[in-house]
Structure formats: C-alpha cells, structure tokens
C-alpha cells in the first residue's frame, strides 16, 4: 500500500536521529575524512590546487558513506558497517566523477555577466542533486550503467513538483553553507584558514548528506 508523504520537519528529525543513533561510527568516519582531506591539502602541490583536490575527494567520500550509514538495506533491516564500507569502495569512483562534473557546472554559475546562463544552470544543479545518492544507494545496477542510471534517476525524481521543490531547498542549503564557510574563512587566522575551512566543510557535509539521503529515500517511496 502506498505510504503517505513525509513532512520536511519529520525528514529532518529522522536524519538527525539516524546520526545520533549511529554517532560513534559517524564521528570515526568524519575524523577519517578530515585526515584524508588535510593530508591532500598539505601535499606538495600548489596550495590552491591541493585545497581544491582535498575538497573534491574528501567531501564526496564522506557524503557517500553517510548516505549509506543513515539508510537501511533494501529489505528494511539496519545496514551493517561492513556493507556500507563494501558499497563505498564499489561505488566511490562514480560518486567522485559525479561530484567533479557537478562542481565544474557549479563553477560556471560564478562567472560574471552570465545571468541568463545561471538561470539554466541552477535548475539543472537542483535536478541532479540526487545523482550521487542514486549512484551510492541503488542496487543491482551494472557498473557500466551506473552513471547514466544515476542521471536518469535524479532527473526522473525532479519531474515531480514536490520532489523538485525539496531538491531546490537542498541546493539552497549547499549555497548557504558555502557562503557561511567563506565568511568564517575570513576571520580565521591565516595559518589555520585552509584546514579550518576544510574541517568545517566536512562537518557540514555530514549533516547535509544525512538530510539528502532521507529525502532521496522518501522521494523514491510511492505515494498516493
């Protein structure tokens, strides 16, 4: 029997509840993501390149793990840590490629004198916000079909007005968090700016990923 649509406030409570109930592993995964990101950021590369690489790798990986960690197995049973790690290793390449592509698209929205172009790109970014969630969570997808499946899945969900509205809210939350992090970076001591901003971005990603995963699961559930 189709389930009733879940309210936004209920989804938020569910996301935070899942993080609270599985706090130990969540903190451990966050610490590992921070270590990976800081290790890349301090590698012998040009500083801006190293910092960008750190975010492009650490943020998608922690997000993908959280997608798995706050959702259940297809049969409804709690997801074991072993299953989450195996799926993360299996699908991480797709998640990294999707987030790289979306980051490049998002970078275009910051270009000057491209307001009309932005009007096309922003809805596209919203409509593709579930792509990495789909690539992480959807089961029984052949490896060669993973990327096209993720694209088709998120776009099909965006065809429903209620889903697209929530996808826009998620995108707005992403933009808002980025703006807040930029403001915080200005007040941090210069020597701690890059590391501090990266750690805060990872912490924010954990929360946002939990909410995104719960919204994706709810959007994928048939409703009357």
Give pLDDT tens digits for 133-155.
Answer: 999 999 989 999 999 999 999 99
75-84 tens-digit pLDDT: 889 999 999 9
Q: Is the pLDDT of residue 101 over 60?
A: yes
pLDDT bracket for residue 29 (50, 70, 90): very high
Nearest to 210 by CA among 173, 161, 175: 173
Identify which of 62, 64, 60, 67 has the alpha carbon closest to the alpha carbon of residue 30.
Answer: 62
Domain boundaries, the chain: 8-219
Helices 146-158 and 81-108: crossing angle, nearest 10°? 70
Nearest alpha carbon to residue 200 among 3, 34, 68? 34
- What whole-number distance in Å separates Cα of residue 84 and Cα of residue 68? 6
Q: Which residue has the tokens 């840590």?
A: 81
Global pTM?
A: 0.91
Q: What is the pLDDT of residue 109?
A: 61
């Amino acid at each position: 029997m189709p389930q009733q649509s879940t309210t936004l406030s209920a989804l938020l409570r569910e996301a935070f509840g899942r993080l609270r109930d599985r706090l130990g592993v969540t903190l451990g995964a966050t610490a590992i993501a921070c270590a990976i990101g800081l290790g890349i950021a301090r590698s012998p590369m040009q500083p801006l390149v190293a910092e960008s690489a750190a975010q492009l790798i650490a943020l998608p990986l922690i997000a993908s793990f959280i997608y798995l960690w706050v959702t259940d197995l297809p049969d409804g049973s709690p997801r074991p840590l072993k299953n989450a790690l195996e799926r993360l290793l299996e699908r991480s390449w797709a998640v990294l490629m999707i987030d790289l592509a979306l980051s490049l698209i998002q970078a275009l929205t910051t270009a000057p004198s491209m307001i009309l172009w932005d009007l096309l790109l922003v809805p596209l970014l919203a409509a593709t916000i579930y792509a990495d969630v789909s690539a992480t969570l959807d089961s029984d997808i052949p490896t060669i079909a993973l990327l096209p499946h993720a694209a088709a899945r998120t776009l099909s969900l965006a065809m429903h007005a209620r889903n697209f509205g929530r996808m826009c809210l998620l995108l707005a939350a992403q933009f808002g968090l980025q703006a807040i992090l930029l403001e915080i970076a200005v007040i941090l001591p210069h020597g701690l700016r890059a590391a501090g901003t990266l750690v805060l971005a990872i912490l924010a990603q954990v929360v946002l990923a939990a909410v995104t995963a719960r919204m994706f699961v709810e959007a994928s559930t048939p409703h009357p």
